[in-house]
């Protein structure tokens, strides 16, 4: 349909017309599915049309306890070590059970305290959502998170180097792509706090990351040149908290660069939330914001990894 207000004639034009009316509020979800089904062969095809346009229905439901135990029957979990440039890298690997075919994978990148139980739990939540989850330990070069006392972990992370963290994350991507249970080329990442900052670095160093969700990660400062932004291959969903004033001040410049280079991204800033609101073991956990952000995260991966 070449004219914005032209009459749709072909099947594709009619589908696009229905979708635009839905986005404008003319139809509720039941009605748009009914209308699309006429042109897609059924409700499954209609749902695929909406999903492919980023309009998958988000489940607002949040379980009373969102945590997934190590021995949950619907997943299998293993503590593993995979090869890296400086030696073995510790990780927790979680898969749906039963695993009937190769699946997309999501790397879980921890905060600045190392790979703690919470981040392992997030990897298990990834598996419960139908992906391969890999919680990586970026303290592996120093012996692993498990060798440090609680009051030593942040200092240990402070000794890590950005270039080495990027090498280890690339090794995680390479490892996943080499395994038969992973759908090759369908790798995503979710990172929290320092892990979110690592995502902002990683998208400039690899073209192998399809989709990523940084939670309250610090945007680059200064922002890389516009040409470098043009090389980004990763689709982004950025999650921020209201009270990260200094961090949030960098958002406009980041968005300007992404818009200028026509990159695929989304952004949500959760009012009433503080930095770290997704971590249910922390003091600022915000259940409503964490639940909504996680649902959006899984929907984002379902859209861009499947």
Structure tokens, 123: 């990897």
pTM score of the predicted model: 0.81
Query: How far apart are alpha carbons 89 and 75 in whole angstroms?
Result: 22
Q: Is 60 a residue whose pLDDT tops 70?
A: no
What are the pLDDT digits (tens) for 214-233? 999 998 888 889 899 999 99
* Alpha-carbon torsion (122, 200, 217, 299), positive or negative: negative
Relative to beta strand 182-192, strand 235-241 is unpaired
What are the pLDDT digits (tens) for 24-47? 666 777 788 889 989 988 877 888
Domains, the chain? 11-52 (no CATH), 75-305 (3.40.50.1820)
For the residues 93-120, what does the mean pLDDT come to?
97
Sequence-distant (6+) residues with CB within 8 A of 171 are 82, 83, 84, 85, 89
**pLDDT band for position 5 (50/70/90)?**
very low
pLDDT at 57: 56
Q: Is 23 a residue whose pLDDT tops 70?
A: no
pLDDT at 101: 95
Please provide the size of the chain in residues.
Answer: 306
Of all residues in the chain, the percent with pLDDT exceeding 90 is 73
**pLDDT band for position 240 (50/70/90)?**
very high
Q: Is 4 a residue whose pLDDT tops 50?
A: no
DSSP single-letter state for residue 187: E
């Amino acid at each position: 349909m070449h004219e914005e207000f032209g009459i749709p004639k072909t099947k594709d034009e009619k589908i696009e017309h229905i979708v635009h009316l839905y986005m404008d509020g003319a139809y509720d979800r039941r009605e748009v599915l009914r209308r699309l089904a006429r042109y897609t062969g059924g409700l499954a095809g209609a749902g695929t049309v909406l999903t492919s346009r980023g309009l998958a229905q988000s489940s607002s439901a949040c379980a009373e306890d969102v945590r997934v135990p190590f021995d949950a029957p619907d997943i299998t979990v293993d503590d593993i070590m995979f090869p890296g440039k400086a030696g073995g890298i510790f990780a927790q690997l979680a898969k749906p059970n039963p695993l009937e075919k190769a699946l997309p994978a999501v790397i879980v990148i921890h905060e600045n305290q190392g790979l703690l139980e919470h981040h392992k739990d997030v990897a298990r939540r990834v598996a419960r959502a139908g992906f391969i989850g890999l919680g990586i330990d970026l303290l592996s070069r120093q012996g692993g998170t498990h060798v440090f006392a609680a009051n030593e972990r942040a200092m240990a992370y402070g000794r890590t180097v950005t270039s080495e963290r990027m090498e280890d994350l690339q090794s995680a991507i390479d490892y996943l792509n080499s395994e038969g249970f992973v759908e090759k080329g369908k790798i995503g990442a979710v990172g929290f706090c320092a892990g979110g900052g690592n995502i902002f670095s990683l998208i400039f160093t690899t073209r192998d990351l399809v989709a990523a969700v940084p939670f309250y990660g610090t945007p680059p400062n200064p922002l890389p040149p516009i040409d470098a932004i043009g090389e980004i291959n990763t689709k982004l969903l950025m999650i921020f908290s209201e009270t990260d004033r200094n961090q949030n001040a960098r958002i406009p410049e980041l968005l300007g660069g992404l818009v200028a280079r026509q990159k695929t991204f989304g952004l949500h800033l959760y009012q009433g939330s503080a930095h770290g609101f997704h971590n249910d073991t922390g003091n600022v956990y915000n259940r409503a914001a964490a639940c909504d952000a996680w649902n959006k995260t899984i929907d984002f991966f379902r859209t861009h990894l499947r």
